[in-house]
Amino acid sequence: MEFFTPFNTYIDFDEFTFKPEGEVIYRNLSDMDYMYQDQKAAQKLLTEDPVIYEFYTADIPEKKGHLRPVMSIIYPGKVGKEYNMTKGHYHEKEDTAEVYLTISGQGKLLMQSPENDIEILEMEKGSAGYIPPYWAHRCINVGDEPLVFFGVYPGEAGHDYGIIEEKGMKKIIVEENGEVVIEDNPNY
């Protein structure tokens, strides 16, 4: 492995800034509108095309031996009755884990194993959720403020969005009568 110099990344826990910024990725609704159940609601919202989430990564090689820190911000909101969420992915190199430390907000960490078992962890300030190797992971903002979390994953992990882009995950998280409800994904 090439020589690399130690450095700090600074996260502002009030302003949710991440410095120095490496790559910043914005996901607008138009990047993932097909992932929501209520297509009528999605198409209507597309005229505004809101940013659903954004994430900040440090400039660290995507190579074995490194660890990549990342801060994600999911904005509050819903598409139909389904809460704003990340696309979700498996790691391309499936035997790599990840940790998500929640900085602010209220969320669910939805995970799915290769056998399609589902596990859901609460995300709240101070929760450090462990995503074991092989599990797909998606975060859902079920609160009314930004859900902000810091993650660390192995440099070689990579991201596999394929299956989730095709049919989603087995469960969806929706609001029913003001409550957060976990439902079966009707398209699964």
Q: Is residue 98 part of the contact set for Zn ion (CB under 5 A)?
A: yes
**Closest separation in Å from C-beta 177 to ligand F6R:** 29
SS3 percent helix, strand, coil of the chain, rounded to 5, is 10, 45, 45
Looking at the Cβ atoms of 16 and 177, the one nearer to ligand F6R is 16
Residue with smaller CB distance to ligand F6R, 88 or 168: 88
Q: Which of 66, 81, 159, 170 binds ligand F6R (CB under 6 A)?
A: 159
120-129 contacts, C-beta under 8 A, 24 or more apart: 120/171, 120/182, 123/147, 123/149, 126/101, 126/102, 127/101, 127/102, 128/99, 128/100, 128/101, 128/102, 129/99, 129/100, 129/102
- Interaction between residue 157 and ligand F6R (CB under 6 A): yes
- Binding segment toward ligand F6R, per CB under 6 A, in 58-66, 121-129, 151-159, 170-178: 151-159
CB of 44 to Zn ion, least distance (A): 31
Residues within window 29-58 making contact with ligand F6R, judged by CB under 6 A: 55
Nearest position to Zn ion, beta carbon: 98
Q: Which two tokens stand for residue 31?
A: 């990047």
For residue 101, what are the contacts with CB-CB under 8 A and spacing of at least 6?
126, 127, 128, 149, 150, 151
**Pairwise CA distance, residues 3 & 175, whole Å:** 49
CB of 145 to ligand F6R, least distance (A): 17
Phi-psi category of 157—alpha, beta or left, where left has phi over 0 and alpha has psi -120 to 50?
alpha
88 near ligand F6R (CB under 6 A): yes
Size of the site for ligand F6R (CB under 6 A): 13
Binding site for ligand F6R (CB under 6 A): 55, 70, 72, 86-89, 98, 137, 151, 153, 157, 159
Which residues sit at the interface with Zn ion, rule CB under 5 A? 98
